[in-house]
């Protein structure tokens, strides 16, 4: 017997094994299911995600794919009948906002860990450079443990299941704008960005903090949202580092316990009160001029 524990979770019967004994348990697990995304009446993508905030997910995904630039591009967003899929969202764009008569259909089903499924050429992987307002941003590294604690405290799904990723977006002062959780890292980011687009608040986004590792698709979404600082609890890939350097994004990984490793554009970070009252620690000029090896 299985039953829904709360949004995004499902209680599943299992056997706990320890010290040669078994006992029945009910574990709360993160849900995963298919969502079909339709754009202007045509199928665009089938993605595996944690149910909930599906409109935010669709809007964020379309923004990351270049099919939307703002919420003002959207005529309507509604639940729809999917083709062989119980859950579907249809986004209808305003005629003046359509870059093409029909958006490019993703050729593959995206699983919960795939942010590039359906890409067909190297040109599809291009990452835009930050706009000027993003390039001029600065980050006090003393904020990192504060941001980490704020994100962790808001991860209700992870606290229940231990099986979800989180994406938290903060403004330049470290105030939490939105946090979203999902079994997929890129889904959590899409949901967070999509929410801010719908609230017309994406312009306030300064810091994207994710609970997992950083790879291509996360950098791409941050760049297209013009978010200048990308923070992660875990490691980056080599391509993520390369693309952050090219796009102008300051990438910090292993952000936990008051520590971090800066992989790109270190000249935009500093420590306030690093050594006591009134003191500030800045990146040495020789390092700020280039990148970490």
Catalytic residues: 114
CB 269 within 8 A of CB 260: no
Of 139, 101, 137, nearest to 282 by C-alpha is 139
Matching residue, tokens 């093409």 = 100
CB atoms closer than 10 angstroms to residue 52:
17
Phi, psi of 239 (to 5 degrees): -65, -35
Q: Encoding tokens for residue 168?
A: 């938290």
Matching residue, tokens 């794919």 = 65
Of 173, 160, 245, 252, nearest to 206 by C-alpha is 173
d(CA 171, CA 175): 6
d(CA 2, CA 256): 36
Can you give the C-alpha Rg of the chain in angstroms?
Answer: 20
């Amino acid at each position: 017997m299985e039953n829904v524990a709360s949004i995004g979770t499902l209680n599943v019967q299992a056997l706990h094994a320890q010290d040669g004994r078994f006992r029945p348990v009910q574990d709360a697990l993160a849900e995963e299911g298919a969502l079909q995304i339709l754009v202007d009446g045509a199928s665009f993508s089938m993605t595996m995600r944690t149910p909930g905030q599906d409109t935010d997910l669709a809007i964020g995904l379309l923004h990351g794919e270049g099919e939307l630039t703002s919420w003002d591009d959207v005529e309507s967003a509604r639940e729809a009948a999917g083709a062989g899929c119980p859950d579907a969202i249809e986004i209808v764009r305003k005629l003046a906002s359509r870059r093409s008569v029909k958006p490019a259909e993703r050729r593959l089903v995206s699983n919960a860990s795939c942010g590039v499924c359906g890409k067909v050429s190297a040109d599809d992987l291009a990452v835009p450079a930050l706009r000027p307002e993003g390039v001029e941003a600065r980050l006090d590294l003393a904020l990192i443990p504060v941001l980490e604690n704020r994100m962790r405290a808001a991860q209700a799904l992870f606290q229940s299941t231990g099986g979800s990723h989180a994406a938290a977006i903060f403004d330049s002062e470290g105030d939490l704008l939105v946090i979203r959780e999902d079994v997929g890292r890129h889904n959590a980011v899409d949901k967070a960005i999509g929410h801010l687009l719908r609230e017309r608040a994406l312009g306030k986004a300064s810091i994207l903090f994710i609970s997992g590792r950083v790879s291509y698709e996360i950098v791409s979404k941050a760049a297209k949202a013009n978010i200048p600082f990308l923070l992660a609890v875990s490691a980056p890939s080599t391509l993520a580092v390369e693309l952050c350097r090219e796009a102008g994004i300051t990438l910090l990984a292993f952000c936990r316990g008051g520590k971090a490793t800066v992989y790109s554009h270190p000249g935009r970070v500093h420590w306030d009160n690093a050594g006591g009252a009134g003191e500030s620690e800045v990146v040495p000029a020789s390092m700020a001029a280039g990148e970490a090896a």
